[in-house]
Amino acid sequence: MTYTALDAWSASAGIKLEGTALEVVKSMRSLSVLAGPGAGKTEILAQRANFLLTTGTCPPPRRILAIAFKVDAARNLLERVQARCDPLFWPRFESLTLHSFAKRILDQFREALPDDERPTANYRIFAPNAAIWNDFRRSVETEIPAISGYNNDSLSKVAHSEPFGGLFPDNDGRERVRKAWWKFCIQSSQSSITFDMVLLLATRILQTQQVVQSALRRTYSHVFLDEFQDVNEFQYRLIVAAFSGSDAVLTGVGDTNQAIMKYAGALPDVFQRLEADFFATPRRLLFNFRSNAAIVGLINSVVTLFESNPVPTEAARKDDPVPPDAIEGWIFSTREDESIGITDFISSEIGNGRRPEDFVVLARSYIGNVEDRLRPHFIAKGIKIRNESRKFREIEIQDLLKEPAVRFIMATLKLAVNARFGSPFQVCRDFLAEFEGWDIASERGLAGSLSAVRLVVDGLSAVLSDRGAADVAGTSIAEAVVTEIRKAQLSRAYGDYRNKDRLDAVLAAFGEFYDTCAHKDETWEQCIDAIEGRGVVRLMTIHKSKGLEYHTVFFVELNDDVFWNSQDDANVFLVALSRARERVKFSFCEDSSGFKNVRQFITSLENAGVNFLRKTGAA
């Protein structure tokens, strides 16, 4: 293996790395990096992985572990590393969510737990609802009469508090409740445990089993913590148990303005803790690579509405041209006028060569209502629109497409109909190699995965038998790709699918969603584009826009004073605002019930440089 000399290493084409960004990429010590939206946090981690692997700074057999807090963030980072790094190197880069990291420890070392804390091998993960808390109360009310004094919230706190007798004295009533909950979850023929319990158990294993802890520490020389602002206490403790006091170099990256998870208990001082516990040096990235100068200016002004001493970001694209309507507010008399106005605007932009997928319409909630209002106008103009929150079998489209089973089906389908968008061969091969445990860096693994790809594609082609997309049912495609054997493999590879109903629901949802995308007289390519959202204008809630970027962002339905009452809401709004590359439009309607509450917000936007126009429905 040939390594690049440290000072001969350079960033991938098109990526500008200077100053602090370059220092972060090449750092030999732990860092805690704060950066605003669009600062290139994900890109910097991808470049850092490339640097560490290709220069031999992370030497084999040691690996890099990247921990993210959402499945798509973990996948996005892995894809960027794969795209920028030679296949000789990137297999030593692992990108996991913290949950899957914890689950992996639990699954491998479950046996090390004492009897009363050890879930059964076939344990399932659940989120307790009111009915389950009631069941629990009923099951222990004779033994612990005080249980009636606990509401669901306090029950959840006690149940998931510091376990194993660490927090409450033995004679404290709460300790009895906690123990009873663990017994309730663990001691049946199939244990049901919460995600928090998975984290606690994995932490427990690392704290008590030195061999496991040392093996983990030997494996990883570098650890990335992406979206670190979202870490809560349990999650942080797992990271401490895994790596505190080791030689691992940690890189924690995050953005306090994007702390979307505050409601889930994210730690406000998590960066300071990283600095104290891991001797991480603080760094700040001040550029925004995504948005043009007008939008960066707006973001900086809006931040001052919510924070007393914000650190402004600088537009890295300061020399790029800015469209005259880059930041604009629109006021319509009625919602009907608004729907016509937005549709006409997008339609004329598409007429000028912009793509439908360059636009997103964001609302805080009730996105289905927005869809109902816009759809007829979009149809009349021949533009496809998609509400990413629309559910099939309780799964939102946006989440459905991220499901491993669906990504595997889509890659196979593309190969079968010869639609090459998005490296389907590589995706399909990697899935199959993962299912079979093949190492594609080895000759045997590569040959095995190639013939497996051929086999699965041939199997699907036989089912399609030269028919058009609309003549094949979505369920037939799902069944042809995800056979019973593949189902078993998927459930081995992805903990979520261990619950058979869940995998079946994903496959059924895919089938139904496919059927809505396959139209008569359209080609396979059009069908695949419709599934993957090319050629469609998207609608989504602002929460779901995190991590994405669009040319033009419309905000609608911001007519809600509740929205501006908390720092969390402000953060969510800032995340959404920073999705825009070139243009942001804030649209308000006078006939919506919340309009009377947004005067102050409109004034603030005006003060921040947003030009408000009174609009009519007509183009």
Ligand X SMILES: Nc1ncnc2c1ncn2[C@@H]1O[C@H](COP(=O)(O)OP(=O)(O)OP(=O)(O)O)[C@@H](O)[C@H]1O
The single residue listed with the structure tokens 């030999």 is: 28
39 vs 417, beta carbon nearer ligand X? 39
Question: In angstroms, what is the minimal distance from the CB of 396 to ligand X?
Answer: 19
* Phi and psi torsions of 580, nearest 5°: -85, 135
Categorise residue 384: left if φ over 0, alpha if ψ from -120 to 50, beta otherwise: beta
Tell me the closest approach of the beta carbon of residue 34 to ligand X, in angstroms: 11
Closest contact distance (angstroms) between CB of 605 and ligand X is 20
Closest by CA position to 250, among listed 262, 236, 230, 233: 236
Among 20, 30, 32, 42, indicate the residue that binds ligand X (CB under 6 A). 42
Q: Among residues 97 and 578, whose Cβ is nearest to ligand X?
A: 578
Question: Is 38 one of the annotated binding-site residues?
Answer: yes
Residue nearer to ligand X on the CB measure, 16 or 599 = 16
Binding track over 236-255 against ligand X, x by CB under 6 A? -------------------x
Residue in the shown chain whose Cβ atom is closest to ligand X: 40
- Which residue, 15 or 144, is less far from ligand X as judged by CB? 15
The phi, psi pair for 297, rounded to 5°, reads -60, -45
What lies within 8 Å, CB to CB, of 422 at 6+ separation is 411, 414, 532
Q: Which of 20, 27, 32, 41 binds ligand X (CB under 6 A)?
A: 41
* Residue 40 counted as an annotated binding residue: yes
How many residues interact with ligand X (rule CB under 6 A)?
19
For the bound state, the minimum distance from the C-beta of residue 15 to ligand X, rounded and expressed in Å, comes to 4
CB of 89 to ligand X, least distance (A): 20
Cα→Cα distances 35→263, 287, 345, 573, 578, Å: 21, 8, 34, 17, 13
For residue 509, the cross-strand partners are: none
Is 224 a binder of ligand X (CB under 6 A)? no
Cα 520-349-542 angle, rounded to 5 deg: 85
The kind and range of the H/E element at 517 are helix 500-517
Contact positions with ligand X (CB under 6 A) in 333-352: none
Q: How far is the CB of 257 from ligand X (least distance, A)?
A: 9
Does 15 help bind ligand X (rule: CB under 6 A)? yes
Question: 474 a known binding residue?
Answer: no
Least distance in angstroms from the C-beta of 87 to ligand X = 22
Stretch that binds ligand X, among 41-49, 56-64, 178-186, 392-400 (CB under 6 A): 41-49
Q: Which residues pair with 540 in a beta bridge?
A: 362
User: What is the pattern of x (binds ligand X, CB under 6 A) and - over residues 261-300?
Assistant: ----------------------------xx----------
What distance in Å separates the CA atoms of residue 356 and residue 581, rounded to the nearest whole number? 15
Residue 49, annotated as binding a ligand: no
Q: Which is nearer to ligand X, 252 or 474 (CB)?
A: 252
Q: How far, CA to CA in Å, does 424 sit from each of 257, 410, 453, 599?
A: 36, 8, 10, 50
Closest by Cα among 287, 224, 329, 303 to 21:
287
Say whether 312 counts as a known binding-site residue: no
Least distance from C-beta 442 to ligand X, angstroms?
32
Q: Are 293 and 317 in contact (CB under 8 A)?
A: yes
SS (H, E, C) 307-338: CCCCCCCEECCCCCCCCCCCEEEEEECCHHHH
Q: Which of 39, 113, 158, 417 binds ligand X (CB under 6 A)?
A: 39
Does 79 participate in binding ligand X (rule CB under 6 A)? Answer: no
If the CB atoms of residues 76 and 339 are measured against ligand X, the closer one turns out to be 76
Tell me if 77 sits within 8 A of 83, measured CB to CB. Answer: no
Does position 16 bind ligand X by CB under 6 A? Answer: yes
Q: Which two tokens stand for residue 255?
A: 């953005």
Q: Which of 17, 105, 361, 469 binds ligand X (CB under 6 A)?
A: 17
Read off the tokens for 271: 């960066």
194 or 256: whose CB is closer to ligand X? 256
The H-or-E segment that residue 477 falls in is: helix 474-481
Task: Select from 25, 31, 34, 37 the one that contacts ligand X (CB under 6 A).
Answer: 37
User: Is 42 known as a binding-site position?
Assistant: yes
Applying CB under 6 A, among 30, 40, 295, 432 the residue interacting with ligand X is 40
When the beta carbons of 68 and 370 are compared against ligand X, the nearer one is: 68
Which positions from 378 through 417 interact with ligand X, judged by CB under 6 A? Answer: none
Q: Among 117, 16, 11, 589, which Cα is nearest to 331's?
A: 589
Q: Cβ 101 to ligand X, closest distance in Å?
A: 20
Give the binding range for ligand X (CB under 6 A) out of 34-42, 402-410, 453-461, 597-605.
34-42
Note the residue count of the chain. Answer: 619
**Segment near ligand X (CB under 6 A); pick from 14-22, 171-179, 370-378, 386-394:** 14-22
Q: Say if residue 616 carries a ligand binding annotation.
A: no
* Nearer CB in complex with ligand X: 175/569: 569
Closest to 77 (Cα-Cα) out of 85, 86, 89, 68: 68
- Looking at residue 266, what DSSP letter applies? B
User: Where does this chain touch ligand X (CB under 6 A) — which range of 37-45, 176-184, 299-307, 324-332?
Assistant: 37-45
Closest CB to ligand X among residues 22, 508: 22
* Residue 229 binds ligand X, judged by CB under 6 A: no
Structural tokens at position 148: 């009636």
CA gyration radius, the chain: 26
The yes or no reply on residue 578 touching ligand X (CB under 6 A) is yes
Which H or E run contains 351?
Answer: helix 335-351
97 carries a ligand binding annotation: no
DSSP 8-state secondary structure symbol assigned to residue 12: P
| Strand-strand pairing, 63-68 and 192-193 | unpaired
Q: What's the CA gap between 498 and 306, in Å, rounded?
A: 43
Stretch that binds ligand X, among 33-41, 98-106, 334-342, 609-617 (CB under 6 A): 33-41
Distances (CA, A) of 602 to 293, 303, 470: 21, 15, 47
Chain positions 532 to 571 lying near ligand X, rule: CB under 6 A, are 547, 549
Separation of alpha carbons 442 and 302, rounded Å:
53
Q: Which is nearer to ligand X, 213 or 257 (CB)?
A: 257
Is residue 43 near ligand X by the rule CB under 6 A? yes
Cβ distance 42 to 263 under 8 Å?
no
In the list 25, 38, 68, 262, the residue contacting ligand X (rule: CB under 6 A) is 38
Residue stretches of the annotated binding site? 35-42
User: Interface with ligand X by CB under 6 A: which residues?
Assistant: 15-17, 21, 35, 37-43, 255, 258, 289-290, 547, 549, 578
Residue stretches of the annotated binding site for ATP? 35-42
